[in-house]
Amino acid sequence: MNSKPLKYILVLFIPLLLALSRDVTGVIEFTSIPDRLLSNITKSTLPDGSSAWAVRDICYRDDIDLKTDLLISFDTRASAANRDDTGRYAFYSAEYVMIQDEKALGTGCGSFFKRDHGISINTSDGVWLGSCDDLGSFMIELRFRLNDAGNGILFSRSGFFSGSKKGIEISIRNGVPVTSFYNMFTNDRGILSSASLSGGRKVSPDTWYHLSVSYDRITGKLAQHIDGREDDVCYMTGTGRPSEGVMAASFGVLNGDGSFKCTELPMAFIGKDFNGFIDEFRILYASLEEIERSRDIAYKKHKWVQSSGRIPYNREGIITGPVTDFGAYGTSVSDLSWDGILKDGTFIWMEFRTSDKIFDEHDSGVKWYRVTNSQKNISSMKDRSGEYLRGRYCQWRAHLVVSPGGDLSPLMKKVSMRYWIDVSPSVPFGLEVADSGDGYVTLRWMKNADSDLMGYRIYYGTRAGQVDGIISVVNGGVIDNSISSGKYVTVRIDSSIINENKNADRRSVLLYPFLENTVLYYFSVTAYDTYKPGTPYNHESELSGHVTGRPYGGSQIK
């Protein structure tokens, strides 16, 4: 379902529904998703004429699930950049100019043109750039644009242990992207090998390119791609052929027992002596253990393949639903289900997220949570802060996983979401002035019967429609049904009660005038529920009709 019509329907009809019913429920079915929210997904027509989503590229070349280790989107000014987007890496220094470019992704990109420009990244144990073990399968990718046809370093992570250079360097040499691996590959006897991918095409200034360098730990294929086209490739194996004595890539050196040890942890650099733009720098990896555990067929699949053509970006197709605006804070999704066809060895799994704060389709600040098909009462789950998973805005994301051999895709026909809108309590009824006297006014109204009621607020002022103060606590407690017996809530308002609420109001924008004799005051009451009290997301009823009260000392003649 397109997000714009959905939002329009909800905004148009929800107020009417709220007026007609205290319990608002509904179901949304998603059978059409904009292309911008589909990743490696295509729409196919089934034999019965219905349509379903399927993974576009199901071949085995995309069958390793790489994890993002480092990401720099350059959507932050250098002065405010002290870590990468994942938070794993700290910057020793960051010098660049963040600019907007019509072809940059996100907010902007990094412009490098001065000698002191560049990002210095601390490497440490526990992250990929600080690992000394077998690096497994990995990919380094970025987008770049040259200002001239000169030279420069896009990325480097290298040191000089025992006088020999060791590490990775991606550079531009006379306009040609070159990726060099210095003593990075080790065979089973501990002999180090280097490799250089330098046979690619020359790139032109003032043009954006996507560069990726990948290593397949199963076949030993080391490849460099420009805009998805393979520019240079070699096999880091004992024979130079796929899968025959595949070498391990490592920043460490091999011990006698077959393990690796660290020798140094040099800094990594981005944009050193480079004149141009860089955007969306990313490192992704998958360990050898993960590959072996998840795909035994991988060894058979690539055993005698001379050219696998593999670029390990994704092994899934991802459908991201639009952000749904329910028009009311604290909305609960009571059921999330999907209609799919699982062929042999395929799988579908789903994620869900929600928030009262508005977020966009690709916002990384709102956490995703895995859910099962037809899972009930999602709103009873709690997020990291202990809050229930309820909100005005929500979004789902489906992952379609192909078969181990890469020959079958699951099919997803539709996603259904049942929701329940937590409406505000009823407007308090029967408000009246029960009594007035020297410096006080006593109000009373009928007790609300709402099951989720937390309390009441009294709004008062010296003119109709004007709020000079809000009374919500009395003697340290909220104003609720337990404050008085019988079927009425009774509250006496005097100087001590007003002073208590004035001191409790952290905003300090209201006057909270004390009640003076002979002055006429206007009073109204609202009811509010238990959802996030004290925040803008709390559900509060409309104001009741106002009543007037006038404190008066009465006759002095007894």
> Could you read off the pLDDT of 379-396 as tens digits, one per residue?
888 877 788 899 999 999
Does residue 406 contact residue 57 with C-beta atoms inside 8 Å?
A: no
What is the pLDDT averaged over residues 146-166?
A: 86
Residues 80 and 52 in one domain: no
pLDDT reported for residue 498: 97
pLDDT reported for residue 258: 63
Query: Residue 503 sits in a domain of what CATH number?
Result: 2.60.40.10
406 falls within a domain: yes
pLDDT reported for residue 19: 35
What is the pLDDT averaged over residues 32-45?
A: 87
422, 448, 476 — which closes off a domain? 422
- The residues that bridge with 392 in the sheet, in sequence order, are none
Cα 180–182–185 angle (5° rounding)?
A: 105
Q: How confident is residue 17, by pLDDT bands cut at 50, 70 and 90?
A: very low
What is the pLDDT averaged over residues 67-84?
A: 91
Q: How confident is residue 318, by pLDDT bands cut at 50, 70 and 90?
A: confident
- The residues that bridge with 110 in the sheet, in sequence order, are 98, 278
CA distance 515 to 549: 10
Residues 55-66 pLDDT 10s: 887 654 444 556
465 falls within a domain: yes
427 falls within a domain: no
Range of 462's domain?
Answer: 432-549
pLDDT reported for residue 236: 93
What is the pLDDT averaged over residues 449-465?
A: 95
pLDDT > 70 fraction of the chain, expressed in percent and rounded: 87
CA distance 45 to 51: 4
- Average pLDDT across the chain, whole number: 85
Is residue 4 scored above 50 in pLDDT?
no
422, 456, 486 — which closes off a domain? 422
Residues 127 and 263 in one domain: yes
Side chain identity, residue 12: L
Is residue 306 scored above 70 in pLDDT?
no
16 falls within a domain: yes
555 falls within a domain: no
CA distance 188 to 220: 14
How many CA atoms, within 13 angstroms, populate the side-chain half-sphere of residue 93?
Answer: 9
Domain count, the chain: 3
Q: How confident is residue 252, by pLDDT bands cut at 50, 70 and 90?
A: confident
The highest-confidence range among 152-166, 216-230, 348-362, 465-479, by mean pLDDT, is 465-479
Neighbours of 474 (CB within 10 A): 18
Residues 344 and 252 in one domain: no
Is residue 154 scored above 80 in pLDDT?
yes
Nearest residue to 396 (alpha-carbon basis) of 366, 357, 422:
366
214 falls within a domain: yes
The reply to whether the predicted model has a pTM over 0.85 is: no
pLDDT reported for residue 345: 77
pLDDT reported for residue 312: 37
Is residue 441 scored above 80 in pLDDT?
yes
267, 302, 337 — which closes off a domain? 302
Is residue 222 scored above 80 in pLDDT?
yes
